[in-house]
Amino acid sequence: MLKPLLLLLLSLPTVCFSQFKITGKVVDKRHKNPVANARVFLDKDTTKYKTDADGAFSITNVKPGEYVLVVSSSDYETYANTLIVYDNNVVVPDINLLLLDELDVVNNKYYKDRERDLSIFKEVFLGRSDNAKQCTILNPDVIFVKYNKLLKKITAFSDEDIEIENKALGYLIKYKLGIFYYRPDGSAYIDGTSAFEELKGSDSDKKRWKKQRQTAYFGSSMHFFRSVVGNQVEEEGFKVLKLTRKPNPDYNTPGYYGLPYIQTLYKDEPLLIDSLVHKTDKIGTFALSYIDCLYIIYTKKHDRTNVNAINLPAYAPPYATTIITFNEQYAFFGVNGIINPQSIVIEGAWAAAGIATVLPANYFP
């Protein structure tokens, strides 16, 4: 059952400064033997742990919130599951890993359009920001890409972590790609888990990274959803407006090259966050819902570079802008962002940012 957000906000201060522990054990699903030296981490966190000889692990200093627990081992399928840390230590039931079977995949080495499709993958995956120009995928050979003519989309997957060196923000990112697709109309879907490591650098590098991390954070989806949870949306510089899109009757007319919809932005009528966000029966999880599109602007950053990408109305305010369209009735989120990404379509600043601007879940400016 959904309840007003205010009820949850009143309960947050009592636990927001506490830290807890997550413990558990990893075993082979078939033989029930402990899996030693498996990597265990929280998605988008910089701290990594390993299971001991008995398959046990312990993650310490965990702040309250919703996380994705990831377990990865070279001989097993990757495990990922959502858990909530609220006001107690968390003991995870035994995690059963399946041994990897041989994957029936196309050998991309001789795929004639691999370089073209890989280039598109990199642009969408890394993003179109200045940060993306300073990112390098260190092991592109582990990425399998293919254009599906029937579905008219590029798909990609990897059975190994994709390693990205981000010299803009000072991270080595190991990304476990779950789902990727991209269509010529610009629509894309990316889902996966990531682990962060700090790059080594000089004092001047670290100073530059600190500044650029702050730039990446302010106005980001992480910043927005944290401001929602903290009931500080307007104070943090965000404004949420109503955007309607109605089918354009002229779209299929021969010779017409306009948009498939007619859109109207209600720029003088900001939406109240309490009318969009609700508490769920799961502590630390919220539900975002709206019948039309959400038009989110960050008023502390001027940016019109994504006008063509998101087809902004001509009278749109000149700020960094993101449009959210709902595929499902509710998009669930916590302090670390959207939990069910398939529930929404994101256009604009957040979509163009890519992994080149993503920060660890434990980052605070």
Label residue 313 by pLDDT band (50, 70, 90): low
pLDDT at 354 over 50: yes
Contact 295, 321 (CB under 8 A): yes
Q: Torsions phi, psi of 176, nearest 5?
A: -95, 105
pLDDT at 15 over 80: no
Give the pLDDT confidence score for residue 74 in this predicted structure.
72
Partners of residue 156 on adjacent β-strands: 145, 180
Q: Could you give the count of Cα atoms lying within 13 Å of 346 in the half-sphere of its Cβ?
A: 20
Contact 34, 24 (CB under 8 A): no
Helix (H), strand (E) at residue 340: none
pLDDT at 253 over 90: no
Q: What is the pLDDT of residues 43-72, one digit of tens each?
A: 877 778 999 999 999 999 888 888 889 898
What is the three-class DSSP state of 215? helix
Classify residue 10 as left (phi > 0), alpha (psi -120 to 50) or beta: alpha
Rg (CA), the chain: 22
Contact 195, 157 (CB under 8 A): no
Tokens encoding 284:
């630390």
What is the three-class DSSP state of 358? coil
Which residues have CB under 8 Å from 185's CB, separation 6+?
A: none
Cα 362 from Cα 197, distance rounded (Å): 12
Give the pLDDT confidence score for residue 315 in this predicted structure.
63
pLDDT at 309 over 70: no
Give the pLDDT confidence score for residue 114 in this predicted structure.
83
Label residue 129 by pLDDT band (50, 70, 90): confident
Label residue 312 by pLDDT band (50, 70, 90): low
Mean pLDDT of the 228-241 span: 94
What residue spans of 76-230 are helical by DSSP H? 114-126, 203-217, 221-229
Cα 146 from Cα 117, distance rounded (Å): 7
Cα 329 from Cα 244, distance rounded (Å): 16
Residue type, 37: N
